[in-house]
Every structure is written in structure tokens, then in C-alpha cells.
Amino acid sequence: MAGDFVFEEKVKIYDTDAQGVVHYAGYYRFFTDALESFSSSKLGETLSEVSKNIWFVVVESNAKYYKPARMGDKLDVHLSYKLLSDKSIRFDFKIFKSQELVCEGFITQVSIDRDEWKATPIPREILDKLA
């Protein structure tokens, strides 16, 4: 947790559904926002734009839901990451509302050659910035 990248989010009406709480798939918006913000500040641009030839694509997503979040709630999204191989990174997320854990999960991304749509090593300059 110490050293995590933290992104603040506010629950919007379009994140909620008729049960009055954030729709389960809506939490992936929070994961994506935190990831794009992390990437902008750490790599200088969003992960998806990081290179003309390389794209990062999601190969797995997961979320566990512990407490409901409601419209207007302020959330802290904590992001940490680890390299799984020279081609893939796992980003872990913990979402807190007033210090209480409401959701945790992860997104695993793989670096691909966008023309061939095949896994390819993550470029050196990205690895250096993530190190």
C-alpha cells in the first residue's frame, strides 16, 4: 500500500444501476481511469498510446466486491503492478471508501505488435520507466 499510486474517483449517476449502487462492471471504469492516470504520469501518455507499433491489450480482468458504493461517493483507487514476464504486466487495484475496502481486482495486459496482433516484448524504454 505504501508507495501505491492513488487516484481519486467520484461515483457518477451513470455508474449506478436500478439497485441504487455501482453496477458491477462499472468498477472496471474506475480501474481503467486509475490505470490511464498512472500511465500518463509515469510513462508520459496513456498505456494504449504508448507506441505506434505496440499496443497493450487486456488478457484478464477480475474484481471482488465487498461493499456497495453509491452515487456521489468519493473513492480512492490504489494501483500497484508487477511484471509477469517480458511481455505482460499485472495491475492490481484496491478501492477504498473512507478507508474501507469496497472492491479489489486486477487487469493483466500483454504487449502486442499491433499489425500482427501477436505478443511481443515490452519496449525497453517502458520497462525502464516502470522499474
Residues at the contact surface with a copy of itself, assessed by CB under 8 A: 10, 12-14, 16-21, 23-25, 28-29, 32-33, 36, 45-46, 48-49, 55, 57-65, 68, 70-72, 107, 114, 117
3-state DSSP assignment of residue 110: strand
**79 near 7, Cβ under 8 Å?**
yes
Q: Toward a copy of itself, which CB reaches closer, 48 or 80?
A: 48
Query: Smallest gap, in angstroms, from Cβ of residue 9 to a copy of itself?
Result: 12
Q: Which residues, other chains included, contact 79 with Cβ-Cβ below 8 Å and sequence gap of 6+?
A: 4, 5, 6, 7, 34, 35, 38, 91, 92, 93
DSSP annotation of 49 reads G
Query: Smallest gap, in angstroms, from Cβ of residue 61 to a copy of itself?
Result: 5
Q: Toward a copy of itself, which CB reaches closer, 3 or 63?
A: 63
